Amino acid sequence: MQLLANIALDGLSYGMVLFIISVGLSITLGLMRFVNLAHGAFAMAGGYAAALLTREAGLSFWLALPLAVAASAALGALLEVLLLRHLYARSELDQVLFSIGLSFVLIASTNALVGPQVQLIVLPPLLSQSVDLGVRTLPAQRLLVIAAGLVVAGLGAWTVARTRFGVWLRAAVDHADTAACLGIPIRSVQCASFAAGAGLAGLGGILGAELMPLEPFYALKYLVLVLVVVAVGGMGSLGGTLAAALVLGTVETASKYLASDWGSLFFFVAMALLLAWRPQGLLRGPARR
């Protein structure tokens, strides 16, 4: 019973970290049709910004958190305006090659400016303590991760389905020329969507620093995990991304408890089985012919 509780709670918190980081890439791939392999760099940027603000600048975590997320979103918006928007009409291969090259540039810049050591985020006493849940004593920081994941899922679904911006985004993706003729600011919608995805990645990098340590090769080290979550969940599907992140996060956690010598083998086996079963995404219907 205790083992099952440990796997369930740790898998839930790890899955929520994967979801928060992955959901921005899911939007970029599924709704904007842009293959951005530099997405992990935004998570790294948010985590590094929070670490430097709390450790070097002496800011409280609660102040550093929104500032670091904003910095990650601003970096995403800047790169979208200066570089990435010029690739929207290019082939997927061009997008892949450019964005992976951009990741290497950001990794090298981070290593040169900050150094190769792992960055630690200074947590407030409230998050440093443990909370007794009856079946398991859990760090309060992981409860924050779980709550943040639920909030992101709810707000994301509401924004895409219920707000004017969500309507603009879907229109800009499906019929860009028609949307522009109707007065929808296509470029602004694309930039805002990209910045939101980068900001969410930064939030995941901050909240998940305990489970996914911050170091210069973070952007590539965890890129495969994020891509797997998006592929299994279905590109552009918030609900599918959440389900995939929770399932795969739990599988990865269970394998560490029960078969740690096998590494991430079961994670990728689960990926293969889920893609074979639902190649279109966990919560998507079969593709129409």
At 289 the pLDDT is 43
Q: How far is CA 166 from each of CA 30, 89, 95, 155, rounded to the nearest angstrom?
A: 14, 22, 24, 11
Query: Locate tokens 């979801």: which residue?
Result: 19
Retrieve residue 124's tokens. Answer: 């407030």
Alpha-carbon distance values, 111 to 115, 155, 214, 219 (Å): 5, 34, 11, 12
Position 285 scores a pLDDT of: 53
- pLDDT tens for 187-238 read 888 899 899 999 999 999 999 998 899 999 999 999 999 999 999 998 878 8
For the record, the structure tokens of 143 come out as 């409860």
The per-residue pLDDT for 288 is 44
pLDDT of residue 204: 95
Return the residue matching tokens 């079963």: 277
Write the DSSP assignment of 21-56 as a string of letters. HHHHHHHHHHTS----TTHHHHHHHHHHHHHHHHHT
Element (H, E) at 130: strand 130-132
| Cα end-to-end span (Å), the chain | 47
Which phi and psi (to 5°) does residue 280 adopt? Answer: -85, -5
Look at residue 269 in the predicted model and tell me its pLDDT: 93
3-state secondary structure 150-211: HHHHHHHHHHHHHCHHHHHHHHHHHCHHHHHHCCCCHHHHHHHHHHHHHHHHHHHHHHCCCC
SS3 114: helix
Task: Per-residue pLDDT tens, the chain, 289 aa: give them.
Answer: 778 888 999 999 999 999 999 998 988 887 677 889 999 999 999 999 999 999 999 999 999 999 999 999 999 999 999 999 889 888 999 999 999 999 999 999 999 999 999 999 999 999 989 888 877 888 899 999 999 999 999 998 898 888 888 888 777 766 767 777 878 888 888 899 899 999 999 999 999 998 899 999 999 999 999 999 999 998 878 889 999 999 999 999 999 998 888 878 899 999 999 999 998 888 865 544 4
Count of residues making up the chain: 289
pLDDT of residue 176: 67
Cα(108)–Cα(254) distance, integer angstroms: 34
**Sign of the four-CA dihedral 101, 103, 106, 107:** negative
